[in-house]
A = this chain, B = another copy of it.
Amino acid sequence: MAAQKTIVGRIDREALAFTVGKDPVLDLELAEADCLGTAAHVTMLSRARLPRRLFSTADVRRVIEVLREIIRQSREGRFRITSGDQDVHLAVERRLTERLGPLGKKVHTARSRNDQVAVDLRLYGKARLIEVMDGCTALFDALAAAARRHRLTPMVGRTHLQPAMPSTVGLWAAGHAESLLDDLELLGSAYAVNDRCPLGAAAGYGVALKIDRALTARLLGFARPHYSVTYAGNARGKCEAAVLQALSQVMLTLSRLAEDLVLFSMPEFNYFRLPADLCTGSSIMPQKNNPDILELVRARAAKVLGHAAAVGGIVKALPSGYNRDLQETKECFIEGLASACASLRMMARVVKGLRVNGEALRRGFAPAVFAADRALEMVAEGVPFRDAYDRVKAHLDALQGVRPDVAVAARFGRGGAASVDSAGLEEAGRAWRRFVRRERARFRRVACRLVGPIR
């Protein structure tokens, strides 16, 4: 069997292909993070109180200059990882060595590919999570706007998909908006779990050199380093699972919103009209305007749940310390983040472009929908609840002629019960928007301080 030369020795070609997997493609996503990690590492090594200084300030400058170049190449799609490189870490190191000679060889001092890939994923995850949370607030805003605009537009409330109660488009939109607040809460804790710096843990047991893990963490803008080097190693996979679980919650919210829109844009309902430019045609049925995007969002919810399950399955009962199994969590992580980002973006466009057909919505009110309200009126007049319930049940025809708008206004207008606390809802959305903005600004500042502005 042919063997191939790599930076860490000759490896059987088929085995190399099997072990490298999709890293040469996936790792392109991590190039910028890898450069930031390396910049922070050498900066730390130049400042840490070691018996002998490993990097002078000039060394650091030279290394960072090459890293800036790699970042630029990466942004322009010109950075390449060969199968001989195996991964982004060796690709970056090769580039540094080609340009800087022995100095390039030194950047791997006091770290391992284990903590390198870990810090890359944390940095990458941080940037993408900020984007996901931003996408959540954007969709939240679109839904909250719809909730305001259609506060009193009647829409029959369903249970078991059957018409059940008077409700409004506003209540419907507010329900989906609020779901995103819970997603943001869950994303927030995944973000916190992701916000620790593993760099300096080397292969999961630290290094025999008094490096300064707290400094590295600070330079990279992490909330803190992992308390222990062992958990810095063990957190890999686990953190990815936590992020994917939070993402799966976002996708669950989107999938339910998508399901509603698929159903209620069927011609038989015609409550909603999807933006024409977001629908696709059919090769054989010219009349169709298909909600493909909504269907794909629905399916991708299942895929993100699958990714979370896969990562959970990988991590379950894995012994402590690095195991190669963890490599396989990378694709799930990257794809899950990308899928959630894109789905949020598309759904915000769908919601913003949605046309609401008030007439069709009003036609959806069968008289029986008012039964429960009638029963409650009787209760308010002193009839015991179960008796009122039985009486209304016996005389459903008496509900003919109730008008949706009147019923809705009575229920949800001034004087009705507070079915939506709009002020609270919107303030919660604003708080998350502030969080996202602050974290994004911080993250950019960190990169800029470390390697300077790029373009």
Contacts and interface: CB of A to CB of B under 8 A. Distances in A.
A389 B319 contact: no
B300 A305 contact: no
Number of copies: 4
Contact of A113 (B1, B105, B283, B411): B283
A54 B299 contact: no
A323 interface: yes
Contacts of A260: 319-320
Contact of A193 (B182, B224, B329, B373): B182
Interface stretch (A27-35, A66-74, A184-192, A440-448): A184-192
Interface string A411-432: 1100111111110110010000
The winner among A114, A292, A323, A332 for most chain B CB atoms within 10 A is A323
14 contacts: A14-B345, A157-B230, A159-B322, A160-B295, A161-B321, A171-B205, A178-B226, A179-B234, A224-B424, A228-B419, A267-B366, A286-B392, A296-B328, A303-B332
Interface stretch (A77-85, A131-139, A209-217): A209-217
Interface residues of A, number: 191
A345 B369 CA distance: 32
A362 to B, nearest CB: 14
A187 to B, nearest CB: 9
A146 interface: no
The winner among A193, A202, A302 for most chain B CB atoms within 10 A is A302
The winner among A90, A313, A389 for most chain B CB atoms within 10 A is A313
A380 B211 CA distance: 12
A312 B252 contact: yes
Contacts of A375: 284, 286
The winner among A296, A342, A381, A393 for most chain B CB atoms within 10 A is A296
A254 to B, nearest CB: 10
